[in-house]
Structure 1
């Protein structure tokens, strides 16, 4: 089954002047540099979810080559016209990752009247209209550099290391013409493959004539997409979406029901022990996906330690941790209803505290999303922020239901039903 466009159509200005002239110039440039486009695909702004994209002229089957980019056509610190200067000054740049050299290469090529990359730049988004959150404040210092940082974050590629090279520094980023035209959805239908001589975009699903070709930017939640790329996938399209429960929120949920200083000290001791095991941290978060707990081991260990009877905790400390085999390592979304009551209660109150951090509740945002006129009256950024919040809240409410929580959540203080003793222990 062909993949359909999953994001709402976005009409945002792009650079390069007249569309037909820009595309014709880019295609002519592709022929000159040996970038081979399949006759079954077309570069277009029609039929795409945002800006320029790639659309199937004819139906495409899995495994078919969509285009191939020779390595000589890649734009990087090694192929730009100031590659020699960047190499000589490599030490002064202090950039082992390669991000700074690429940014300097782009700064030079963008402003060079005779740059060989000019037809490629014509299809770039208009830099002054990028929608990343970093541009919400009106900051003018080093404006072009900042815009290029956002663009490189959004459109560059990094070739993966081979397994035997995992200990090396990551490969430097580079710009891949044609590949960076493709838009992203979670249910993508194409994938970029690396080979010694070229980079190949290959279909991974059947693509019907007239349908858009989508790459993937990785398994990314909506908050990551808006941060790095300036857009989100409306609910329920982003199957990679997640919601975070801050680790310190679980500590707060456990502490809020304590009655005595001794109880609070006991919980703090358990938290310190989890920190020592590197299961939790002051800046960390438990990550909950739509179908899995991405930090299942850490969450299970935290619930176990904070909820176990005092005697069991003393034994745990004395033996310096658990044995290697622990059934709690396999904590998943589906087994949450089978957790011990004390674990579910702690998790439920952690979810409630997390939901209280939002300014509005789920019902309010459901009504806004269901009101086409009201939704259309929001700015682009307000719409994207709403989609981020809504997707997170749906995940949190589902988690709440799995722990035994009932009905829509209102902003009341959680934990009012807890026992007067140390609330989450099994004793």
Structure 2
């Protein structure tokens, strides 16, 4: 495993205009990082500071003075970005690009990180000094399996994590480790570790002190943008986010809205652009008062997604984007409960197969229910309609290949319109919700009692608190559906 750079808590904010610090046998990692930023030509506004003070968690960026919309926060030259193209083995990774292809598309960048982490003279060493302790990442993939299943049963997280772990393990042993063993002069034994690889995947996927890294394949190149943050809160937008970033096609990504750049829930949000001078610029999108931390947003993500990808959640009811899933096969199972004869069950499976043909359902799909809207309204509407049709209606519908639909206003599947749905639709939806609630190990009342008793809640471990918030948010949405379908 890569060794950790020695860290010391930052006593005061450090801004972009501060003079270089005197040599120190135990240098401040932020000062060292900012000194490196100046060396590589990174432009940091004198109106902002990188600090631990005044931040939600870990290192952050704080406004030293009021910032107006459109003002530059920082600009980073392309050459300062750490990617498979800019690292010291970029030529080798390019030549071996074909052998390094994987489902995730992350292998070249992760190999670049593995190499630079153990390279004694890596240009990005000051950046690595700001990384969190990799052994303390709080993504559920690092929880013991028993704890993960016990705390997150029914939320969908354990299943997602199991897929991640299987994919990471397969990718590491089939591609990454053979490549490192083929080039032992470039990768020391201490970085040839599945555990370290998992930690880097989690960091790149979404955490910590951060860097932006979303990989999006365009013309076989891995591009990015995802923001991450220091510990357990919405991401911060600090310059230490920037080095790991391949922005070859970032401008195109921005234009195509393949990255979320909305307003952060917790504070002012900046935006990115890639101007002609070949550097990445971040500017404020709204006024930022003096002393406020500067945030970006992860986008519209439910709590189960936040804990899965980033290792934290928003406490109820703060996450207005929270959702609950009803597995598509659960609706089929609920419909099967209402069948008596074999012929009825066969007809139901025929309807299900037709829905699959229409690409409305799938064996691993889910209907996504938000607090104020149904995000998969078309899919759920069509599924309820088809599964509740009479045999004659279904034959006519099938003969018209699903196009013979005269949608009635009372069949509109919005949250507010659910009580007006046909009785058969409401009953099927209700039965599906009841089956979904059976997947959880505890009921809503138990969760409410825990959240309502501050003394008991504060004694829970951090993981128990986070998992409780995920479960409770989902159950509140599902119980709202029960009330609407009663």
Give the TM-score category using the shorter length: 0.7 to 0.9
Choose which of 179, 182, 202 in structure 1 pairs with 2:283.
202
SS in 1 for 2:471: helix
- Give CA deviations for 1:326-372 in whole Å, capped at 9, x if unaligned: 46896322222221121111111111111121111112112212222
Deviation at 1:373, TM superposition (A): 2.5
Matched, 1:34 2:115: no
Deviation at 1:324, TM superposition (A): 7.8
Task: Give the distance between the partners of 2:203 and 2:50, measured in 1 at CA.
Answer: 20
SS in 2 for 1:66: strand
Choose which of 473, 476, 485 in structure 2 pairs with 1:391.
473
Choose which of 173, 188, 194 in structure 2 pairs with 1:142.
194
Task: Give the distance between the partners of 1:170 and 1:391, measured in 2 at CA.
Answer: 38
- Give CA deviations for 1:230-263 in whole Å, capped at 9, x if unaligned: 1111112222211100011111111112232232
Task: Give the distance between the partners of 1:151 and 1:193, measured in 2 at CA.
Answer: 21
> Relative to structure 1, is the Cα distance of residues 36 and 327 closer, same or farther in structure 2, using a 3 angstrom cutoff?
farther
Question: Mean alpha-carbon deviation: is it higher for 108-117 or for 195-204?
Answer: 195-204
> Relative to structure 1, is the Cα distance of residues 97 and 255 closer, same or farther in structure 2, using a 3 angstrom cutoff?
closer
Contact 1:97 1:170 in 2 (8 A): no
Match of 1:211 in 2: 292
Choose which of 100, 117, 122 in structure 1 pairs with 2:129.
122
What is the RMSD computed on CA atoms of the aligned residues? 2.7
Task: Give the distance between the partners of 1:96 and 1:255, measured in 2 at CA.
Answer: 36
- Give CA deviations for 1:78-110 in whole Å, capped at 9, x if unaligned: 111111221222222224864111101111111
Match of 1:23 in 2: 30
Matches within 5 A, 1:240-389: 240-323=321-404, 326=407, 331-389=413-471
Match of 2:245 in 1: none
Question: Mean alpha-carbon deviation: is it higher for 326-335 or for 303-312?
Answer: 326-335
Matched, 1:172 2:223: yes
Deviation at 1:33, TM superposition (A): 1.3
Match of 1:400 in 2: 482
The ranges of structure 1 where at least 4 consecutive aligned residues each deviate by more than 4 angstroms after the TM superposition are 95-98, 138-141, 173-177, 184-188, 323-330
Contact 1:293 1:331 in 2 (8 A): yes
Contact 2:64 2:291 in 1 (8 A): yes
Contact 1:132 1:150 in 2 (8 A): yes
Match of 2:204 in 1: 152
Task: Give the distance between the partners of 1:287 and 1:246, measured in 2 at CA.
Answer: 9
SS in 1 for 2:294: strand
Match of 2:149 in 1: none
Contact 1:97 1:169 in 2 (8 A): no
Match of 1:4 in 2: none
Match of 2:95 in 1: 88
Contact 2:84 2:93 in 1 (8 A): yes
Deviation at 1:117, TM superposition (A): 0.6
Q: How many residues align?
A: 384
Matched, 1:192 2:303: no
Structure 2 regions of 5+ residues with no counterpart?
11-27, 146-164, 166-191, 228-237, 243-262
Question: Mean alpha-carbon deviation: is it higher for 292-301 or for 314-323?
Answer: 314-323
TM-score (norm 2): 0.73
Task: Give the distance between the partners of 2:370 and 2:221, measured in 1 at CA.
Answer: 27
TM-score (norm 1): 0.82
Question: Mean alpha-carbon deviation: is it higher for 61-70 or for 106-115?
Answer: 61-70
